[in-house]
Structures are given as C-alpha cells and as structure tokens.
Amino acid sequence: MANRFLHLVRHGEATADGRLTERGEQQARLVGRRLAGLPITTIQHSPLPRAVRTTQLISECLPEVPVQVSELLDDHVPPVPDPQSLPDVYLRFLDGVTAEEYAVGARLAEAAIARYAVPAEVDTHDLVVTHNFQIGWFVRHALHAPGWRWFGLNQGNCALTTILYRSDRPRPWCSSTTWGTCRRNCAGPAFRRTSTSDQPGAPVSPVHAPVGQPDTDRTGPCHTGPMIAPVLQTAVYVRSPDQTQVLLIHRNKRPQDVHHGKYLSLGGHVEPGEDVLTGARREVYEESGLVTADLALRGTMLWTGFGPRRLDLLCFVFRADSFDGTPHLGNHEGTLEWVPINDMHSRPMWDSDHLWLPMVFDADPRPFHGVMPYDGDRMLDWSYQR
C-alpha cells in the first residue's frame, strides 16, 4: 500500500516586510539538515518572499529535489463555516476580512486539500513550505476537527509537521510538530509561551508548546556549534543460517549514489512516527524480502559532516541471526550478496567501517557507541565506548 507523507514546514522567522531575519535563515538551514535524510520527492512552496527564501535555504540540503511554487499554499484565510459561533477573540480577528478574501481563501483551501491531502499511487514524501493558517488547515482536516479549528493551531517557525495518507486507513496519521532542529534561543517568538503569533490573542496550543520551556523570553543568534540534529538511520547485518556469512548490498546501480561501488548492510532511514526497530525491520523487508523478527542491537554510530551535504547521521546497528524467506537478487540500489564474515575486509567499503564492524559480530553482549567525525568523504577521528 502506497504512502503519501506530507511534510509541512512553516517559513522561517521574518520581518514585517517579509524578509527572513538572521534567526529565520538559521531555522531554515537547520530544518533543511533535518529533512536531508528523508527521500523527499518534491518541494512546493508559497509564492510569498518569506516562504520562497525558506525554500531556497532548505533546498541547499536537497539539491536534486525539484521545486515548484503553488498559489494553493499562499497565505490566505481558510473558510469558517459559521463565523458568529467563534469565540470573541477569533471573531475580532476576522473583522477586517472581506467577502472576496473569504471566497478566495475557501477556494484555495479546498483545492489544497484535494491536491495534497490524498493517498498516492506510489510512495511519496512531499515537502510543503507554507504559512501558519495553511498548516493549521491541513492538521484540522487530518483530525476531522470542526471547520473553524485551524484557529489556535499555531506552528513555530520552521517547525515540522508530518501527515501520512494511506488508502487503507480511514483517517490520516498526524505527527506532533517538532522543534528538534533548533536550540531554544533559535526558536523565535512562535516557540515561546510568551509569544505572539500570526493570530492576535490566540493562545499557544499546549500540543505545540515546547515541553518544560520557561516563560522567560530568549533572544540571541542561533547557536549551531555542538548542538546537532542527526538524521536517524538503521543498519542491519543479516547472518546466514550457519552464521558464517552476512548479507550485504553492493551499491552498484546508481552512479550518483554517495556509496556507489561500496558494500553496505541492509537498512536505511527511519520514517516519521516509526521507532528504530520497526524501521529496521521494514528496511530489511523492502530491500531483501526477508522478515527479521529478532534483531539484536549491537551499537550506535554517529557520523558528523558526512558526504557532500555534510550530514549528521545517527545509525542504530542491528544484527539478525535468523530470518524467514529467500532474499531477492537485488533492488534499485544494487545487488545482494552473501559474503563470508571473515572475508568482508576484501570487499570495497568505507575504510572507517573496518574499525567498528568487528564489534557487530563479536561475542561481547555490550553495545558499542561510536563517534566518527567526517569532512565530506574523509574520516577525521574515531572514538567509542562500550
């Protein structure tokens, strides 16, 4: 069954004339790094300058993903079925909205739902960069809330909300908005309990308020030094029934692949809403056709500054000593091969893999936790604890 992941990002913090502030640009870069580990299919954005600039900065981390502008994502007022039923604080906000603006807003809002809030024929990850009201409108629709309830669903600047649409489910799945990409002093006004939002007088929804954040104001530039927002990944080393071989994928199908020509384990990214164990099992099944019920966590690896996009990657490394099924011959990334464990060193791999791979197969029950800074494709250092 195909999945449509709709990733919704509000534009970065902006000035009154629509230009991103310094903090807004930092927010956009950080959420771009967060999204870089996902297989984003398309990026679509509002035509307004603050959304255009946010998209440009995000696209630096997703250089191969096509970008389109859409009037459906413009900053309009979504429909309100019965304005007189609203609380006074919301009703006062709508005093200046004209009948024409209501009509345009209703048309665009319904068209946006018809365009984006539907299942897909193939798996897609659509990224939408838009505005507070529009994200609230999508969330309201996903939760089957009353028509006016996009009011009060306030999004932080560059916060990420993901909605999953599948034809075999009666309702979409909607994640919480996350702030994992920013330090608190980078969060901007919409992240603070004392903040103002795009909706005057509207309280910050408890669902979207940062847990445990004090009510004091925080200012200052975004600090991106030691604070990282790694992309979550899984690696699964499946052993043969006699425990002497391991199933590896020879990444030989896509010349533009950063791992092209190298042997890697099965595994990949973690989908929004997945735990790492579920994600690992899913990746093994998708890549090889094998079902792995019992996975042993052997350790974690943190790579920073890896590849041409200088990604930070946190990988959960598993070993599977049993499985059901017969592996495929390969997939769209490469061919699958059973390789003798004692002969893995003879296969083309990242040189750094040989430093930690022995711990995946040794008899020590303790998981290892390694840190390996990179500068593009060059390892800079290596340390671990166990």
**What's the mean per-residue pLDDT of the chain?**
83
Of residues 179 and 261, more confidence is placed in 261
- Mean pLDDT, rounded, for 215-241: 65
What is the reported pLDDT for 175?
Answer: 67
- Distance between the two ends of the chain, CA-based, in angstroms? 40
pLDDT at 203 over 50: no
355-368 residue pLDDT tens: 999 999 999 999 99
What is the reported pLDDT for 377?
Answer: 85
Residue 45's pLDDT band (cuts 50, 70, 90): very high
Residue 138's pLDDT band (cuts 50, 70, 90): very high
**Whole-model pTM?**
0.53
Using DSSP's 3-state secondary structure scheme, residue 33 falls into helix
Residue 227's pLDDT band (cuts 50, 70, 90): low
Question: What is the C-alpha to C-alpha distance for residues 297 and 320, in angstroms, rounded to an integer?
Answer: 9
pLDDT at 97 over 90: no
Residue 225's pLDDT band (cuts 50, 70, 90): very low
* Residue 353 near residue 262 (C-beta atoms within 8 A): no
Query: Residue 364: exposed, middle, or buried by beta-carbon count in 10 A (0-12, 13-18, 19+)?
Result: exposed
All domains of the chain, ordered by start, with CATH? 4-208 (3.40.50.1240), 231-385 (3.90.79.10)
Of residues 93 and 123, more confidence is placed in 123
Contacts of 33 (CB under 8 A, 6+ apart): 61, 181, 229, 231, 311, 312
Q: Which tokens go with 79? A: 């429909």
Question: What is the C-alpha to C-alpha distance for residues 40 and 6, in angstroms, rounded to an integer?
Answer: 10
- Mean pLDDT, rounded, for 157-171: 85
Helices 132-142, 99-116: inter-axial angle, 10-degree rounding: 60
Contacts of 74 (CB under 8 A, 6+ apart): 46, 47, 48, 108, 131
pLDDT at 198 over 50: no
Sign of CA dihedral 98, 101, 107, 108: negative
Closest to 129 (Cα-Cα) out of 32, 195, 18, 196:
32
Question: What is the C-alpha to C-alpha distance for residues 200 and 214, in angstroms, rounded to an integer?
Answer: 21
Query: How many Cβ atoms are within 10 Å of 256's Cβ, its own excluded?
Result: 6
